[in-house]
C-alpha cells in the first residue's frame, strides 16, 4: 500500500465528510493505493456516527478506532501509527486547517527524495497573536535544546516512512516532539516543508494557553529520557559529585581559615555561626541525595525489560 493518512479527531462531526472527500479526490488523482485511519479520541458529539456513515461509502479505504474516553492526541496518533499499513504515513488534523492538497508533495519527499520524516511549517498562520508569539518562542527554544532545525514542531501535518512510526512510542503529550523521538530512534534525515494553513471552517480550537506550559515541561522530560534514560548516573552522578565537592571545598576552606586565624591570635566567631557553614552542609547533603538518586535510577534502568532493545535496520548473516 502506498499511503496511510492518520487523522486524530475530537468532536469534529461537521468537518469529517468534507475532509474524507478531499483526501479521496487527491489520492485518486495520484493513483495511490491508500487507507485513511480515523481515531476518535472519545468525542462527545456525533463524530463516530459520521464515521460509520463514511465507512459505508469508502469501504476498504477507511478504518476507524474509537476510544472509550478522551486520552489525548498522542494516544490517537500512537494507535494510528501501530495500525498503519502504507509505505508512507501522513498525519493531519481533522479541523480542515491542514490541506490534503499537500499529500502528493509530502509523499514524493519521503518516497522519492529519501527523507525519513517531513514536518510541515505553517509559515503564514491564521491564528490570533496570543497563539503565534508564544508558538514562535516555544519553537525557538525547542530548536536550541534539541538541535533539530524545524520552525514548527507542533504542526499536525507531517509525513513519515512507515518504519519510523513503528520505531517510536508516542505517549502523554509527546506528539509535539515526534521529530526528537525519530532522531533518537536513529532517523536523521528529517526535513521541513512550508504548508498551507487554512482558516478554521468548523468548530473551535481544542487547545488553550496551558499547552505552552505543558509543552515546555514535556520538552524537559523528553530531553532527559532520550539522553539519560539508559544511563541516569551520567546526569545525577555528575551533578551530585559537583554539589558535594562545592560543599566539601567550602567546609575545608572554613576549617583552614579558622585554624590559621587561631594560630595567629585572631578571635573569630564559631564556624557554626557562619552562614557559609550551612551553605556548605546543604550542598553536601544535596550532592549525596543526587548521587543516591542516580544510583537508584541506574539499578532500575539495569533491570528494565528494554535495557538491551536496539533498532536494527539490516542484517547480513
Q: Which DSSP string do the residues of 129-161 spell out, in sequence order?
A: HHHHHHHHHHHHHHHHHH----S-TT-S-EEEE
Write the pLDDT tens digit of every residue in 119-166.
999 887 766 666 677 778 878 888 887 888 898 888 899 999 999 999
Cβ-count burial 195-221 (b if 16+ within 10 Å, e if not): bebeeeebbeeeeeeebbeebeebbee
Query: Between residues 311 and 264, which one has the greater pLDDT?
Result: 264
Predicted confidence (pLDDT) at residue 316 exceeds the cutoff of 90: no
Predicted confidence (pLDDT) at residue 310 exceeds the cutoff of 50: no
Predicted confidence (pLDDT) at residue 303 exceeds the cutoff of 80: no
Predicted confidence (pLDDT) at residue 56 exceeds the cutoff of 70: yes
Q: What is the pLDDT of residue 171?
A: 80
Over residues 37-57, mean pLDDT: 94
Predicted confidence (pLDDT) at residue 235 exceeds the cutoff of 70: yes
Predicted confidence (pLDDT) at residue 180 exceeds the cutoff of 80: yes
**What pLDDT band is residue 34 in, cutting at 50, 70 and 90?**
very high
What value, to the nearest 5°, has the Cα angle with vertex 246 and ends 220 and 288? 65
**What pLDDT band is residue 308 in, cutting at 50, 70 and 90?**
very low
| Residues 207/156, Cβ–Cβ less than 8 Å | no
Over residues 1-29, mean pLDDT: 95
Predicted confidence (pLDDT) at residue 269 exceeds the cutoff of 80: no
| Percentage, residues of the chain above pLDDT 90 | 50
| Percentage, residues of the chain above pLDDT 70 | 84
**What pLDDT band is residue 18 in, cutting at 50, 70 and 90?**
very high
Q: Worst-scoring range by mean pLDDT, 2-11, 52-61, 307-316?
A: 307-316
Q: Give Cα separations from 160 to 19, 65, 182 (angstroms).
A: 20, 21, 10
Cβ-count burial 270-281 (b if 16+ within 10 Å, e if not): eeeebeebeebe
Per the prediction, the chain carries an average pLDDT of: 85
**What pLDDT band is residue 15 in, cutting at 50, 70 and 90?**
very high
Over residues 293-304, mean pLDDT: 77
Over residues 243-247, mean pLDDT: 93
Instruction: Specify the pTM.
Output: 0.73
Q: What is the pLDDT of residue 141?
A: 81
Predicted confidence (pLDDT) at residue 38 exceeds the cutoff of 50: yes
How is the chain split into domains, by residue range?
Answer: 3-228, 233-302
Query: Into which CATH architecture does domain 3-228 fall?
Result: Alpha-Beta Complex (3.90)
Cβ-count burial 295-316 (b if 16+ within 10 Å, e if not): eebbeebeeeeeeeeeeeeeee
Q: What is the pLDDT of residue 8?
A: 95
Q: Worst-scoring range by mean pLDDT, 44-58, 80-94, 206-220, 290-304?
A: 206-220
Query: Between residues 269 and 54, which one has the greater pLDDT?
Result: 54
Amino acid at each position: 500500500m502506498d499511503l496511510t493518512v492518520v487523522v486524530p479527531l475530537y468532536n469534529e462531526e461537521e468537518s469529517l465528510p468534507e475532509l474524507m472527500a478531499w483526501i479521496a479526490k487527491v489520492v485518486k488523482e495520484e493513483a495511490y493505493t491508500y487507507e485513511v485511519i480515523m481515531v476518535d479520541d472519545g468525542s462527545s458529539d456525533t463524530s463516530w456516527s459520521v464515521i460509520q456513515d463514511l465507512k459505508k461509502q469508502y469501504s476498504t479505504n477507511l478504518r476507524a478506532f474509537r476510544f472509550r474516553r478522551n486520552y489525548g492526541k498522542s494516544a490517537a496518533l500512537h494507535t494510528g501509527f501501530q495500525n498503519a499499513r502504507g509505505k508512507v504515513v501522513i498525519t493531519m488534523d481533522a479541523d480542515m486547517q491542514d490541506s490534503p492538497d499537500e499529500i502528493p508533495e509530502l509523499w514524493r519527499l519521503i518516497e522519492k527524495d529519501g527523507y525519513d520524516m517531513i514536518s510541515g511549517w505553517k509559515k503564514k498562520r491564521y491564528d490570533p497573536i496570543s497563539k503565534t508569539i508564544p508558538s514562535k518562542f516555544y519553537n525557538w527554544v525547542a530548536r536550541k535544546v534539541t538541535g533539530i532545525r524545524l520552525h514548527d514542531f507542533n504542526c499536525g501535518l507531517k509525513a513519515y516512512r512507515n518504519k519510523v512510526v513503528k520505531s517510536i512510542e508516542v505517549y502523554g503529550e509527546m506528539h509535539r516532539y515526534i521529530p526528537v523521538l525519530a532522531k533518537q530512534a536513529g532517523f536523521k534525515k528529517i526535513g521541513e516543508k512550508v504548508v498551507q494553513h487554512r482558516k478554521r471552517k468548523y468548530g473551535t480550537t481544542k487547545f488553550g494557553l496551558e499547552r505552552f506550559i505543558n509543552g515546555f515541561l514535556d520538552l524537559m522530560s523528553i530531553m532527559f529520557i532520550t539522553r539519560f534514560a539508559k544511563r541516569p548516573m551520567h546526569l545525577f552522578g555528575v551533578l551530585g559529585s559537583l554539589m558535594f565537592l562545592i560543599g566539601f571545598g567550602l567546609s575545608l576552606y572554613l576549617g583552614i581559615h579558622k585554624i590559621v586565624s587561631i594560630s595567629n591570635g585572631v578571635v573569630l566567631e564559631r564556624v557554626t555561626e557562619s552562614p557559609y557553614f550551612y551553605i556548605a552542609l546543604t550542598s553536601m547533603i544535596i550532592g549525596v541525595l543526587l548521587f543516591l538518586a542516580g544510583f537508584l535510577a541506574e539499578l532500575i534502568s539495569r533491570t528494565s525489560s528494554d535495557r538491551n532493545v536496539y533498532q536494527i535496520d539490516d542484517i547480513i548473516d
